Structure 1
């Protein structure tokens, strides 16, 4: 399986695996795909450690890093506060405490700490700069901007380092803006995808983006977890696929065991686009958490990014620990970012096996189409 993107990046299969887990990134890369590590969870020092670990295990094979640099955050407002927690309204803290009480989650929610402040600042352009610096010090083959056009300095620094820049988009207009900003690879992500998504389906979005940005290569994302879906994406004009959800139930995944069990039991109807985790619409497993924030008359409504991240992640840390202890209310609240392909994820497998199964099924699908056209 060879496409132009395979030749450019030096990979066997045009299968890109986005994951926050270094083990998944290394496993997919070693299997001939292209692992992409999501960097938002790490400080610069932690990211350096994670990438060093990957470097030692992939034998020089290329992999990538994904940073989150949203373009609509009032960084000046953040900079005026020593602690981002100062910007979290009391009613939002009270609502989280109410949820913990209502669902019987043991312990209390503390105000976001300094570590959470740092986490919030990492989703600003200034905060992401340190992560970009670290990423470009490693032999990465790609750096991706997960939300919004990459800052000009990111593109310039990547170009100087000889590293291609990718960006995720949910509309044709976004794709044009990304190309104008200098990206080398566009990831057209349909609404089926997990995490931050738009409202246009993959089957509709991909061919429109391919036509709009040619000759810039396009990867398809959203609703892709099998070889048949991969073949469909390539038929739409994509040069490869970008997958995230399919790795959440692999043996290597960082997914908490209680959440992994929920994912394995879920259907494709069990996801929702909600701002309740990050402050921007993100597809995730529907749970009491999303229901309460989005539908409860008591809800104050989600804050914007990054403030909702602080509120949610502090709460989710406690909810996750309680869910692992088997507390029923915590299990109702627990969720994670996942796409509609969750309905296909019903078995735990090694990431390498997932890669090989997708490639094999892709070949079978192409052969079937060849027979039909013959």
Structure 2
């Protein structure tokens, strides 16, 4: 199946697999798609380890890395926040709610070290900040990642310039047509149209409405990937019928053999329906 996306990335199938698990990333790339490692919660050390491991597994095949490099964030006017400061902002009621859910559904309690990985990750800088993302981008570009994706807002100029100077492609997620237009205006190579069905942070527009809206807004100048609630071939076909040149999937990989998802959680996912 050939599209502009497969030609640009040198892959056989226009399926991009977002995952925090390196095993999933490597498996999808070896199967002909493009695995994309979600690295926002990685420490610098762990990112080095995971990218080295992925490259050992896939050889010269391409893969991607997804970062979060926001233009604005809480505390940015004060030089950023530390992980400790961010953790102190989480109300006890929220922590109690999570503990109650885990207990109610038979999910083992989160290990403190692993559970805090998304916040701390052995870094002083809080996640979702430019300070946190800067070394991650540097590490990514020191490796062979073919695609670097910004998951929140238009990629800043230094991210685009650094990636393009090294011959890497840059992608960005969009929840509205206006987002996609901003991405295209700054020079993004691939736009991911992520609808409200997506498992991660997203907007309020459904995938089947959002894809053609963004495709039309961009007028073919930048290829679009459909994302959000895509877990079967029929959904991929529908996305491409609406103008997408491939798909970006995330949640579907959580129940795969390679995924690091806890077995109890996998069972819950597999038993769930769209009404749960």
Which TM-score bucket, shorter chain as reference?
0.7 to 0.9
Counterpart secondary structure, 1:258: helix
Is the CA contact 1:41–1:119 (under 8 Å) kept in the aligned structure 2?
no
Counterpart secondary structure, 1:136: helix
Flag structure 2 segments of 5+ consecutive residues without an equivalent: none
Give the alignment's Cα RMSD to 1 decimal. 2.7
Q: Which has the larger radius of gyration?
A: 1
Is the CA contact 2:18–2:250 (under 8 Å) kept in the aligned structure 1?
yes
Counterpart secondary structure, 1:196: coil
Counterpart secondary structure, 1:115: coil
Instruction: Between 112-121 and 186-195, report the one with greater CA deviation.
Output: 112-121
Q: Distance in 2 between matches of 1:41 and 1:154?
A: 18
Q: Distance in 2 between matches of 1:172 and 1:148?
A: 12
1:261-287 deviation digits (Å, cap 9, x = unpaired): 1111111122xxxxxxxxxxxxxxxxx
Task: State the TM-score, normalizing by the size of structure 1.
Answer: 0.66
Q: Whose helix fraction is larger, Structure 1's or Structure 2's?
A: 1
Instruction: Find the counterpart in structure 2 of residue 185 from structure 1.
Output: 190
Is the CA contact 2:181–2:217 (under 8 Å) kept in the aligned structure 1?
yes
| Alignment pair present for 1:260 and 2:266 | yes
Instruction: Find the counterpart in structure 2 of residue 170 from structure 1.
Output: 175
Is the CA contact 1:83–1:117 (under 8 Å) kept in the aligned structure 2?
no
Alignment counterpart, residue 142 of structure 2, candidates 107, 112, 137: 137
Is the CA contact 1:26–1:35 (under 8 Å) kept in the aligned structure 2?
yes
Q: Distance in 2 between matches of 1:186 and 1:156?
A: 17
Cα distance change on mapping 1:179 and 1:101 into 2, 3 Å: closer
Task: State the TM-score, normalizing by the size of structure 2.
Answer: 0.88
Aligned ranges 1:1-374 → 2 under 5 Å: 1-73=1-73, 74-77=75-78, 79=80, 83-85=84-86, 87-88=88-89, 92-93=91-92, 96-97=95-96, 100=99, 115=120, 118=123, 121-213=126-218, 214-270=220-276
Is the CA contact 1:84–1:117 (under 8 Å) kept in the aligned structure 2?
no
Is the CA contact 1:97–1:109 (under 8 Å) kept in the aligned structure 2?
no
Return the offset for 1:85. Answer: 4.8
Q: How many residues align?
A: 267
Cα distance change on mapping 1:226 and 1:120 into 2, 3 Å: farther
Return the offset for 1:123. Answer: 1.4
1:307-357 deviation digits (Å, cap 9, x = unpaired): xxxxxxxxxxxxxxxxxxxxxxxxxxxxxxxxxxxxxxxxxxxxxxxxxxx
Q: Distance in 2 between matches of 1:233 and 1:119?
A: 41
Return the offset for 1:71. Answer: 3.1
Q: Distance in 1 between matches of 2:83 and 2:250?
A: 35
Cα distance change on mapping 1:137 and 1:6 into 2, 3 Å: same
Q: Distance in 2 between matches of 1:141 and 1:107?
A: 34
Q: Distance in 1 between matches of 2:57 and 2:81?
A: 42
Q: Distance in 1 between matches of 2:77 and 2:122?
A: 15
Q: Distance in 1 between matches of 2:30 and 2:111?
A: 43
1:217-267 deviation digits (Å, cap 9, x = unpaired): 101111211111111111111111111111110000111122111111111
Q: Distance in 1 between matches of 2:237 and 2:110?
A: 48
Return the offset for 1:72. Answer: 3.1
Q: Distance in 1 between matches of 2:37 and 2:202?
A: 18
Return the offset for 1:7. Answer: 1.3
